[in-house]
């Protein structure tokens, strides 16, 4: 109880000053914040230790933002970097060490070190309501559908539709919920039932 009182007396007001907005009941444990005024966090969000939240328009996007929906849980050591738009829906579950990015280092010029090449803007990262990303998942410029599951260590660079299970690097759909039968059934990698 004493820790909860200390949180609301000291940490919560500090985050209110740093961020674009933060909802009631939200808890952030030792985050790293870059571009805080472009970060908007809903109610009852729980973000575990050492997660990096960044909304930094390194590609020149004037409307850069990171939004996290109500009731979302984000594990330890996650890395969420928006240069244009990352939107995490409501009740999304992210395991430890998840990486979300809507940008990528250019590497086209073989005569220039990658670190000296410009950052390239990709599509927004959208995690729809209720999805679950396992440990070490990377999502780079893609959308994950509603209530979809992405298995541990997957690398997602293409959109995953609603109610799918995807695994691997690159991630491939292996299962999808069949609404008329009310069960999860195997699919091909495009999500077509087999």
Residues labelled as active-site residues: 105
Torsion of CA 138, 90, 158, 174, to 10 degrees: 90
Q: Which long-range contacts (CB under 8 A, 24 or more apart) does 153-162 make?
A: 161/191, 162/128
| CA 113 from centre of chain | 28
């Amino acid at each position: 109880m004493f820790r909860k009182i200390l949180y609301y007396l000291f940490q919560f007001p500090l985050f209110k000053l740093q961020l674009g907005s933060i909802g009631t009941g939200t808890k952030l444990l030792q985050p790293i914040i870059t571009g805080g005024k472009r970060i908007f966090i809903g109610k009852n969000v729980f973000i575990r230790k050492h997660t990096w939240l960044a909304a930094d328009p390194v590609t020149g996007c004037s409307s850069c933002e990171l939004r996290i929906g109500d009731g979302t849980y984000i594990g330890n050591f996650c890395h969420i970097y928006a240069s244009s738009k990352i939107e995490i829906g409501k009740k999304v579950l992210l395991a430890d060490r998840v990486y979300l990015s809507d940008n990528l280092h250019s590497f086209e010029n073989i005569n220039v070190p990658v670190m000296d090449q410009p950052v390239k803007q990709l599509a927004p990262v959208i995690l729809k309501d209720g999805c679950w990303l396992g440990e070490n998942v990377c999502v780079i410029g893609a959308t994950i559908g509603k209530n979809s599951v992405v298995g541990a260590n997957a690398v997602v660079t293409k959109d995953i539709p609603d109610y799918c299970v995807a695994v691997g690097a690159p991630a491939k759909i292996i299962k999808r919920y069949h609404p008329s039968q009310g069960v999860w059934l195997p699919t091909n990698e495009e999500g077509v039932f087999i």
